[in-house]
Structure 1
Amino acid sequence: MAERPGSLDELALIADIGGTNARFALTDAAPVPRILHSRALRNADYASLQHAAEAYLDDIGARPRRAAMALACPVHTDEIRLTNRAWSFNRDELRAALGLDELHLLNDFGAVAWSVPALAADERAHLYGPVQADLAGPASVLGPGTGFGVALLVGDAARGWQAVETEGGHVSFAPIGDEEHALARWMNARHGRTSWERLLSGSGLSSIDAVLRGIDAGVDVGTPHLALAPREPSAVVAAALDGHDTVARRALARFCAILGSVAGDAALLHGARTVMIAGGIIPRFIPFLRSSAFRERFLSKGRFAAYLESVSVQVVTHPHPGLLGAAVALRLPQKVETA
């Protein structure tokens, strides 16, 4: 834990609120953002974001006056509802309840995008393409966690950066090959459509694994229910990396292949020179990702394969990029909405 830099009440609250965990910390006014007194709370243990935030602040004994929170949902209205958690709130009411003078709200992957220019060299891992001495924009920032986030980072170090929040994770999935068409049929039967997020997320990896096991068992994947219950995504990853579970390896390999296609699509949509892959899942199996079909699928864009060969693909390895991005955005209040 970092040393306390003075009174806790002089610090600002930062938070990264996902569908599964709520991460809180404090930050000071130092030019290089610092994450202090960080805690991770399980969302399921709290009735609301307000209760979780109050529990954190009570635990460390701080009463900050400013806050920036990254949320896994759109944040452009006064009434906020998380996409993958039954939490909702009014931004003015939350600000008042927490005793804040300022409350900045960001989309969670908007916050991750803000973090990218602040990453140290050892907080990102090179995958493919040119090795960059300095970050080159535009940059597509995307990745799987509880959901699938997509953001765009534009600008450069000289002129400054701007993060553009998107809901790109809900773009429709385009299957390639029999296995992916089977995945889409099952998702369509269960949800009415298949988005990137339905497959490229923790629950998505579990679903891919369950569908592949179901296919091997002769289950009709055109129905919304499978005979085999999904495994936890961490269990699928562990079984795949262990090497003895062939279905888990197929599931993780399919996940990586689909991620390659989606990352290539995002790069073309954004005109990206850099693709930054973030989220809580990917850093667990970077060597597996490198050996997968990710690169083949990333480049498989017909006449634009050569364009994509010049795009640098990297993985964010910072443990809490959402918190870092919230701290960065708090230093740029004119660029984020304030309640």
Structure 2
Amino acid sequence: MVERIDDDLDRLALIADIGGTNARFALTDAAPVPRILHSRTLHNADYASLQHAAEAYLGDIGARPRRAALALACPVHTEEIRLTNRAWSFNRNELRDALGLDELNLLNDFGAVAWSVPALAEGERVHLYGPLRSGLEGPVSVLGPGTGFGVALLVGDAGRGWQAVETEGGHVSFAPIGDEEHALARWMNARHGRTSWERLLSGSGLSSIDAVLRGIEAGVDVGTPHLALAPREPAEVVAAALDGHDAVARRSLARFCSILGSVAGDAALIHGARTVMIAGGIIPRFIPFLRSSAFRERFLSKGRFAAYLESVSVQVVTHPHPGLLGAAVALRRPDATETV
């Protein structure tokens, strides 16, 4: 739950979820159950840097926190940090000093989502497939499309405690199945030299799938890096697909769901997962469409390990800000973050 309270703001800690498109900021207190307070979403394009966005938020709220946990859509294990899908970079020590912090914790954005999973209430996740269990069973593959495609691993259990493992699994090479996906891979390879999961399972990826399929319908050679048809915005593709009158948009969204099923199954096998949690800003918009798509078929299409995957619980995270929640959880676990 996102709350607003009147409190001594300087006693609170800063938390943030910084993606390629939006920067979400909030404050959190020391309560045993993490609370998200004074939440704001800023558009990255309106700010020159992460520092400027954070200063704008803190100035608007009127807070001067001494501790912070920032979830970032990039690796966070070096002194110099550069976002993967946004031209923002900074030195972690310089950012800490510029914001007047005593402690700055950095974590990967999907690492933060993984930390949020044990803290989710029943109403903040939706069961898709597999067994319905009373509690969370690990290992947990946490993945999902947004501006990019995030992958993380959650290991442990409620008794011994949980540990999030950050990864860059979204950049694994895509394995196409069938003529349509091979056409997508040819076009992506012509543009980028290779095709990763993220190139297709993201907002821009959905736009690219739609553009390629419309190009095929129009007789365009998809083996070249340029298409005659300009990509549509991903929200436009989703709206057209759900409306039902745009056949190519429906094919595009269906293909997106099929590829996601394959990737989710691959991740579950790699991680030895007992649970798969799908997060990100895209999937919660069309859960019924996903449920009726070929996602399940492709998830299980792993030969001799189909039976294993049938025992994996697949769920969708519907909490509005799991990255913020995860940052608040991680702030209570200093060993889970990169601290300066």
TM-score, length of structure 1 as denominator length = 0.99
Post-superposition CA distance 1:253-293 (Å, at most 9, x none) = 00000000000000000000000000000000000000000
Q: How many residues align?
A: 337
> Partners of 2:336 and 2:323 in 1: how far apart?
16
> Partners of 2:214 and 2:152 in 1: how far apart?
33
How much does 1:337 deviate? 1.5
> Partners of 1:244 and 1:170 in 2: how far apart?
34
> Partners of 2:218 and 2:71 in 1: how far apart?
42
Distance 1:61 1:192, change over 3 A: same
How much does 1:147 deviate? 0.1
Correspondence 1:213 to 2:206: no
Correspondence 1:274 to 2:270: no
Post-superposition CA distance 1:95-132 (Å, at most 9, x none) = 00000000000000000000000000000000000012
SS of residue in 2 equivalent to 1:163? strand
Runs (4 or more) in structure 1 with deviation over 6 Å come to none
The more displaced of 328-337 and 282-291 is: 328-337
Distance 1:229 1:3, change over 3 A: closer
> Partners of 1:33 and 1:19 in 2: how far apart?
25
Q: State whether residues 277 and 314 of structure 2, in contact with CA within 8 Å, keep that contact through their aligned partners in structure 1.
A: yes
> Partners of 1:288 and 1:334 in 2: how far apart?
39
How much does 1:2 deviate? 6.4
Post-superposition CA distance 1:36-66 (Å, at most 9, x none) = 0000000000000000000000001000000
Q: State whether residues 3 and 36 of structure 2, in contact with CA within 8 Å, keep that contact through their aligned partners in structure 1.
A: no
> Partners of 2:122 and 2:178 in 1: how far apart?
38
> Partners of 1:297 and 1:131 in 2: how far apart?
20
Distance 1:36 1:285, change over 3 A: same
SS of residue in 1 equivalent to 2:104? strand
Post-superposition CA distance 1:169-217 (Å, at most 9, x none) = 0000000000000000000000000000000000000000000000000
> Partners of 2:37 and 2:128 in 1: how far apart?
30
Post-superposition CA distance 1:226-264 (Å, at most 9, x none) = 000000000000000000000000000000000000000
How much does 1:335 deviate? 2.4
Q: State whether residues 3 and 35 of structure 2, in contact with CA within 8 Å, keep that contact through their aligned partners in structure 1.
A: no
Provide the residue aligned with 1:129 in structure 2.
130
> Partners of 1:201 and 1:288 in 2: how far apart?
17
> Partners of 1:235 and 1:217 in 2: how far apart?
20
> Partners of 2:133 and 2:79 in 1: how far apart?
40
Provide the residue aligned with 1:310 in structure 2.
311
SS of residue in 2 equivalent to 1:193? coil
How much does 1:336 deviate? 1.5
> Partners of 1:28 and 1:169 in 2: how far apart?
32
How much does 1:3 deviate? 6.2
Distance 1:303 1:102, change over 3 A: same
Q: Identity of paired residues, percent?
A: 90
How much does 1:334 deviate? 2.4
> Partners of 2:276 and 2:329 in 1: how far apart?
20
Q: State whether residues 278 and 317 of structure 2, in contact with CA within 8 Å, keep that contact through their aligned partners in structure 1.
A: yes
Provide the residue aligned with 2:291 in structure 1.
290
> Partners of 1:322 and 1:3 in 2: how far apart?
16
Correspondence 1:64 to 2:65: yes
SS of residue in 1 equivalent to 2:15? strand
Distance 1:3 1:20, change over 3 A: closer
SS of residue in 2 equivalent to 1:308? helix
Post-superposition CA distance 1:137-191 (Å, at most 9, x none) = 0000000000000000000000000000000000000000000000000000000
> Partners of 1:31 and 1:20 in 2: how far apart?
31
State the superposition RMSD in angstroms.
0.8
Post-superposition CA distance 1:314-333 (Å, at most 9, x none) = 00000000000000000011
Matches within 5 A, 1:167-206: 167-206=168-207
Distance 1:220 1:65, change over 3 A: same
Distance 1:261 1:3, change over 3 A: closer
Distance 1:3 1:245, change over 3 A: closer
Q: State whether residues 14 and 65 of structure 2, in contact with CA within 8 Å, keep that contact through their aligned partners in structure 1.
A: yes
Provide the residue aligned with 1:240 in structure 2.
241
Q: State whether residues 2 and 35 of structure 2, in contact with CA within 8 Å, keep that contact through their aligned partners in structure 1.
A: no
SS of residue in 2 equivalent to 1:142? strand
Matches within 5 A, 1:312-331: 312-331=313-332
> Partners of 1:133 and 1:337 in 2: how far apart?
33
> Partners of 1:334 and 1:203 in 2: how far apart?
34
Distance 1:2 1:164, change over 3 A: closer
> Partners of 1:23 and 1:100 in 2: how far apart?
18
